[in-house]
Amino acid sequence: MQFLKPILAIVVAYLLIKLGVPFLGSLMHPGTWPVVPSAVMKMYMAFIILGTLLSYTYSEEGYNALIGPIVDVYSNPAKAAIKFGLVFVIGAFGAFVAYQYVKPTFDPPVELRSVHPAPPSSAELWGKSFQIQSLKNPLRDDKANFAKNVEEGGAIFFKNCFYCHGDKLDGKGHFAAGFNPLPANFTDVGTIAQLTESFVFWRVGTGGPGLPGEGTPWISAMPVWHTLLSEEELWKVIMFIYDYTGYAPRVTTEVK
Amino acid sequence: MRIESMLFKQKKFFTRLRPAVCGTAVFLAFMLALPAMTVKTTGVAGALWGEMSVQAASAAEAPAAAPAAAPAAAPAKKDEKAAAKAEKGPEEYKPITPPKLELKDYPKIKGFNSRITVWFIAQLHLFFGAFVLGVPIFVWVIEAVGYKTKDERYDNMAHEFMKVAMTGFSLAASFGGLLSIALVVFYPHFMQYMASVFGKVMIYYALFFFVESFFVYTYYYGWDKMSSGKDKLIHLGLGIGLNGAGLMLMALSNSWAAFMMAPSGLDESGAFAGDVWAAMHSHLWNPLNIHRFIANIAYGGSLTASYAAFKFLTANTPEEKAHYDWMGYTSFFVSMFGMLPLPFAGYWLMKEVYDYSQQMGITLMGGAFAWLFILQAVLIGAIFLSANYYLWCSLGRSNGSARYTFMIKPMAVIIVTAFLMWLTPHTLVMTSQEITKIGGAHHPLLGKFGVMAAKNTAVNTLIIMTFCSFQIFKRSNIRATGKGFWAQYGTTVQIGLYVAALTNIFFLGIWSYYIPASTRIGLSVPQVTTTLMVAVLSSVFDVFIFKSNEELGPPKWGSMPVRSQYALFTLTVAFTWLMGLMGYVRSAIRQHWHIYTVFRDNSADAFTPTLPYAAAIVTGIVCIFIALVLFMFWMPILASKGNGAEEH
């Protein structure tokens, strides 16, 4: 029964991921059941099966314990019934998987969405050209008015942005449910926390229509904010979202 | 009879030399002809050196209309030295503005797609180039160990490694020559501009080929002649010359690739200012040099490991099996020696890319190319899994391995878990039903694994566990017999070191979620330092622990199971695929630019291909390369068949 051990290990790993991850996720986001997407699950299971097989077959004893029963079933005429049963089960499983792939579905196709759109070298806003790589937030140097600027940025946020991005800046505003993809969650470490202020300036200022052609599909309902806000207001709201979430904007090393 | 025999040997010597010499000659001819050809096209005869062809290119190129869709170019790296030189006046240099090409400027050769042709040839050249630059480095080290220990087995093994590499030299040179032809044929204006900037460097590059050829042939064919005494020292000196020339060749050609990604030595208008050193010394030159240097060693080791595995599987006698088992293990060790620091060199390169251009950095790591990095993670995971499997199988060679086998399953769990964390993408591919269940596109738990904080933690854990597998194997056949502190408690101290290191790495990883991104990236340094400390300190502790030891029996070289050799093949295939994919990423990140933000690509192929298309092309190249590697492995076998009677 040695050969059942790796199978058991694989089943336990599967259940841990299938049920354990959504359970932990539901504690972090109450009211949801964050399943592991099937695309990720397939990658996980492929490597779990591989890792399990490797850890059971490095020695001759382990290898024989795993392979022995299979060889026995396929070479022993007395076990022909089991052999044909296994062939049938494997074939049926293959047919089931194939059917799952080809059966008609009304679901929209999955999209391969990139994380962040790449900014252009420069962008035109308010009739001016901004070099994104070297652009700095001019209000950052005004240390004396930092609190005032952040407060004014907050007022701008709650007049304009919070309907989508939410009062906690977690992307769960009133209108959020109507969008796919959902509005950005600024509290997540993967959004503004790893971006420079110049990137956020370009992204907010030019909105959905400003997204680059490469790496499509970009579907974004973000308005072109530079047509609605002034340059100073845009910098202030950026200061507010960083201050509110507690993240510092990313800075890059100066290239000499 | 003696004279006949000598003549026969001479004839054989030159017969062996012929393909290599031909390949080198073709390559050299084109490298030397290239600047001259570009000058000829501009009507200036006889000029070979950079500055002269610079002027020629400038005079010949009438500026074409700027493409309508061209995005505003960022000013290329401003070089004050170059600008100062520019102010001195037109007598000393003439700024070279990159030409603005149109579709008609790109020659069309029926039956050939220019991009795919150059892609195939360049990548094959790079595969063989990496191999032949990597192998002589560790061959020299092994030869030096043999000289120092007076153990002939090391010397024989080093010689055999070089034997395998010799066909590789010919193939690398042949593909290099072919690449030069293809670039001139399909991208004449681009090559004209590159020659106008790097003409002098190209000449030096070609001359270094003579230097390398001198060293490679004297090093290889003089091996038996210079096998002892002072002659051996001269031979080792030749090895240093070979590696020095190889490094120079790599660094010079890297300067062209780095310039294309991050151009330097240009003035405000993007024109070359005349200082070749400034153009060479691009922001990405040294990160690229370091990354490729380490990768060459890892790759060279993996290919010779495959050669040893191939010979192991076809060996007829236990002695042969034992020899090739040992050779495979040594190659594997070399490969892992290069592999372990490689992710860190890669991080440094990516950090410098990001610092140079936010646009480029984001497109690579978070944008259109991000999914290729997921493939990269999968392949690196395959390398780590096969490496650990090989080490676990290696325990079968030792008599005292039963003391450690209980650790393997827990280690496998840690390795697989770290690997799953390493490959989890930041943005998940989801169906609409899954998005509904999750409550959005962002997964609250798996999303945390998508950022560098998790990736750094995972890769350091993978490396520490792989080193642990190696350390278990190293001590599996010996037992400490001393009575001192280290013999008694040394292993406990080592366990404490591993636990403390993993705790520190996880603490830093979790902490980095709560600090600014720029600081977070900096935390990878103490994480890496922790990993390196484990490797160094634990190895030093081993020396103290086993100062006095007894062997538990002779190591059973040749007893490795057949499946372990396939782990070595997996290593090579995964490395090759990885290099192909990442080579594509590095080159394609310039997108529609020949030279990023300076020289626009207006050919019909100036679009970024889809990911499956790119992956399919890379896979095709890998298949051709593997077929050529089999040819390369066959060559020494063919040679030894001819020498059969003589060698016996």
- The string of DSSP letters for A100-156 reads HHHS---SPPP----SSPPPPSEEEETTEEEETTT---GGGG-GGGHHHHHHHHHHH
Please report whether residue B78 resides in a domain: no
Beta bridge partners of residue B600, listed in sequence order: B593
> Looking at per-residue confidence, does A133 or B543 come out higher?
B543
What is the arithmetic mean of pLDDT over B86-104? 70
Residues B593 and B543 occupy one common structural domain: no
Q: Which residues of A touch B610 (CB under 8 A)?
A: none
The verdict on a CB contact (< 8 Å) between B427 and A131 is: no
Closest residue, chain B, to A245 (C-alpha) = B514
Interface test with A, best of B416, B421, B560 (most A CBs within 10 A): B416
Q: Domain for residue B372, yes or no? A: no
Stronger pLDDT, B55 or A44, i.e. the higher one? A44
Q: Among A42, A189, A206, A242, which would you mutate to test the B interface (most chain B Cβ atoms within 10 Å of its Cβ)?
A: A189
| pLDDT tens track for B237-247 | 999 999 999 99
The domain in which residue B137 lies consists of: 12-61+93-349+564-643
What pLDDT score was predicted for residue B63? 32
Q: Residue B493 falls within a domain, yes or no?
A: yes
Give the C-alpha separation, B143 to B135, whole Å: 12
Token pair listed for B633 = 């492995």
Pick the more confident residue, B615 or B275. Answer: B615
Q: Which helix (H) or strand (E) holds B480?
A: strand B478-480
If one compares B427 and B581, the residue with the highest pLDDT of the two is B581
**A35 contacts in chain B (CB < 8 Å):** 434, 437-438
Residue appearing with tokens 């050529």: B628
Option in B357, B431, B563 nearest A133 (CB): B357
Centroid of chain to Cα A218: 15
With cut-offs at 50, 70 and 90, classify the pLDDT of residue B90: very low
Question: Would you state the torsion angle of the CA atoms of residues A170, A175, A180, A185, taken in this order, to the nearest 10 degrees?
Answer: -10
Query: Distance of CA B449 to CAs A112, A190, B353, B513, B551, Å?
Result: 18, 10, 23, 11, 44
Residue B282 and residue B249 share a domain: yes
Q: What's residue B499's pLDDT? A: 96
B610, B548: one domain: no
- For chain A, the helix, strand and coil percentages under 3-state DSSP, each to the nearest 5: 60, 5, 40
> Residue B444 has what pLDDT?
83
The residue from B512, B529, B554 where one domain ends is B554
pLDDT of residue B73: 39
Residues B452, B573 share a domain = no
Interface residue of B358, B369, B419 to substitute, partner A, most A CBs within 10 Å: B358
In a domain, B196, yes or no: yes
Q: DSSP states of B95-124 as a string?
A: -BPPP---GGGS---TT--HHHHHHHHHHH
CA dist A138 and A140 (Å) reads: 6
Residue B413 and residue B611 in contact, taking contact as beta carbons nearer than 8 Å? no
Partners of A111 on chain B (C-beta within 8 Å) are 429
Residues B303 and B435 in one domain: no
B161 and B32 within one domain = yes
**What's the average model confidence in pLDDT over B143-160?**
91
Taking an 8 Å cut-off on Cβ atoms, the answer to whether B444 and A28 are in contact is: yes
Asked if B516 lies within 8 A of A250 by C-beta distance, the reply is yes
The larger pLDDT score, comparing residue A250 to residue B6, is at: A250
Are A215 and B444 inside 8 Å of each other by CB? no
Instruction: Say if the Cβ atoms of A58 and B408 lie within 8 Å.
Output: yes
Would you mind telling me the total number of residues written for chain A in this entry? 256
CB interface of B with A, residues 405-424, below 8 Å: 405, 408-409, 412-413, 415-416, 419-420, 423-424
Question: Do B201 and B274 fall within a single domain?
Answer: yes
More confident residue, B334 or B71: B334
Domain boundary at B517, B533, B554, which? B554
Alpha carbon B464 to chain centroid, angstroms? 22
pLDDT at B72: 36
Q: B440 pLDDT band (50/70/90 cuts)?
A: low
- In a shared domain, residues B460 and B543: yes
Q: What percent of chain B has pLDDT above 70?
A: 83
From B533, B554, B575, the end of a domain falls on B554
Interval B112-119 mean pLDDT? 94
Q: pLDDT per position in chain A (256 positions), as tens? A: 777 889 999 999 999 999 999 999 888 877 788 899 988 999 999 999 999 999 999 998 899 988 888 899 989 999 999 999 999 999 999 999 999 889 988 877 776 666 677 788 888 899 889 988 788 899 998 889 999 999 999 999 999 999 999 999 988 899 988 887 778 889 887 788 888 899 999 999 998 888 877 666 667 888 999 999 999 999 999 999 999 998 888 877 665 5
Q: What total number of domains does chain B contain?
A: 2
Verify that B568 and B550 share a domain, yes or no. Answer: no
Alpha-carbon separation of residue B642 from B6, B463, B634, B635, B646 (angstroms): 16, 44, 13, 11, 9
B532 and B608 in a common domain: no
Q: In A, which residues are within 8 Å of B520 by CB distance?
A: 194
| pLDDT value for B646 | 41
pLDDT at B14 over 50: no
Q: What is the mean pLDDT of residues B563-577?
A: 95
At residue B362, the pLDDT reads 83
pLDDT (average), residues B31-53: 37
| pLDDT confidence bin for B347, thresholds 50/70/90 | confident
Q: Does any domain span residue B288?
A: yes
Using DSSP's 3-state secondary structure scheme, residue B269 falls into coil
Residue B152 in domain: yes
Closest-CA residue of chain A to B81 = A256
Put simply, whether B63 touches A (Cβ < 8 Å) is: no
Mean residue pLDDT of chain B comes to 83
Q: Is B434 on the interface with A (CB under 8 A)?
A: yes
Residues B601, B539, single domain; the answer is no
Asked if A21's CB is within 8 angstroms of B445's CB, the reply is yes
Confidence of residue B524 (pLDDT cuts 50, 70, 90): confident
Q: Is there a contact between B423 and A43 if contact means CB atoms under 8 Å apart?
A: yes
ipTM attached to this prediction: 0.78
Q: Which of B72, B408, B430 faces A55 most closely, judged by CB atoms?
A: B408
| B350, B414, B443, best to mutate vs chain A, most A CBs in 10 Å | B443
- Chain A: give the shortest CA distance to residue B446, in Å: 8
Kindly state whether residue B272 falls inside one of the protein's structural domains.
Answer: yes
d(CA B466, CA A120): 41
CA distance B254 to chain A (A): 19
B480 and B627: one domain?
Answer: no
In a domain, B75, yes or no: no
Q: Which domains does chain A have, with CATH numbers?
A: 4-102 (no CATH), 122-245 (1.10.760)
Q: What is the pLDDT of residue B393?
A: 94
